[in-house]
Amino acid sequence: MEGVIREKTSKDIIIEYIIYFFFYAFLGWIMEVIYALFIHGHFVNRGFLFGPICPIYGFGAIILIMTTKKLYKRPVLKFIIATVSFTVFEYLVSLILEMLFGLRWWDYTNDFLNIQGRVSLLYSIFWGVIGVIVLEKIHPFIQNKLQNITKGNTNKLEHIICLSLIFILFIDVIFSAMGYL
């Protein structure tokens, strides 16, 4: 049936968010690698995992997308929500990773207005700006492209790709965690 667009099921929405997670986790990894290249002058595989993703960015993006769905063109409110949610999330992830592995993946101790070196005012503002850019520019573009790709499809390929990515991530988490223990 050409031209018939079926309504999204909850399964479709979950698959969509999984795709967003992997996209933003990969984008975050790229951003971290470029930052490290600039700071250190050479490639550094940033993050907890062996693979080219930083899950903190994927989860952060999903949290942000879900909490700002109804805000449309309110960038100041989006900035505040992004700043606060990313700061709290970054703090919690830092704490959990340190409790699990006894390591710190980042340390803002020398930054102005930091909390236990886990978060700082400068990076909180940076995350707020990045959040607004993602919500106002990047996500609408990605959302549109994903909808164009999946429009009218049965989504079997999407499901297979998502399950494969989840399986690969699961294996990566296990081997990465074993490397830190």
- Between 73 and 13, name the one with better pLDDT: 13
Q: Helices 55-67 and 10-40: crossing angle, nearest 10°?
A: 130
Q: State how far the Cα of 36 lies from the Cα of 75, in Å rounded to an integer.
A: 29
Q: State how far the Cα of 102 lies from the Cα of 112, in Å rounded to an integer.
A: 24
Residue partners of 44: CB distance under 8 A and separation at least 6: 33, 36, 37
Q: State how far the Cα of 85 lies from the Cα of 64, in Å rounded to an integer.
A: 8
- Mean pLDDT across the chain: 88
* Residue 68, helix vs strand vs coil: coil
Would you say how long the chain is, in residues? 181
Residue % of the chain over a pLDDT of 90: 64
Please determine, for residue 129, whether its predicted confidence score (pLDDT) is greater than 50: yes
**pLDDT, position 134:** 93
Residue partners of 105: CB distance under 8 A and separation at least 6: 47, 48, 94, 97
**pLDDT, position 149:** 77
| pTM for the structure as a whole | 0.85
Please determine, for residue 1, whether its predicted confidence score (pLDDT) is greater than 50: no
In single-letter form, the type of residue at position 94 comes to: S
Domain residue ranges in the chain: 10-165
HSE-CB at 163 with a 13 A cutoff on CA atoms is 7
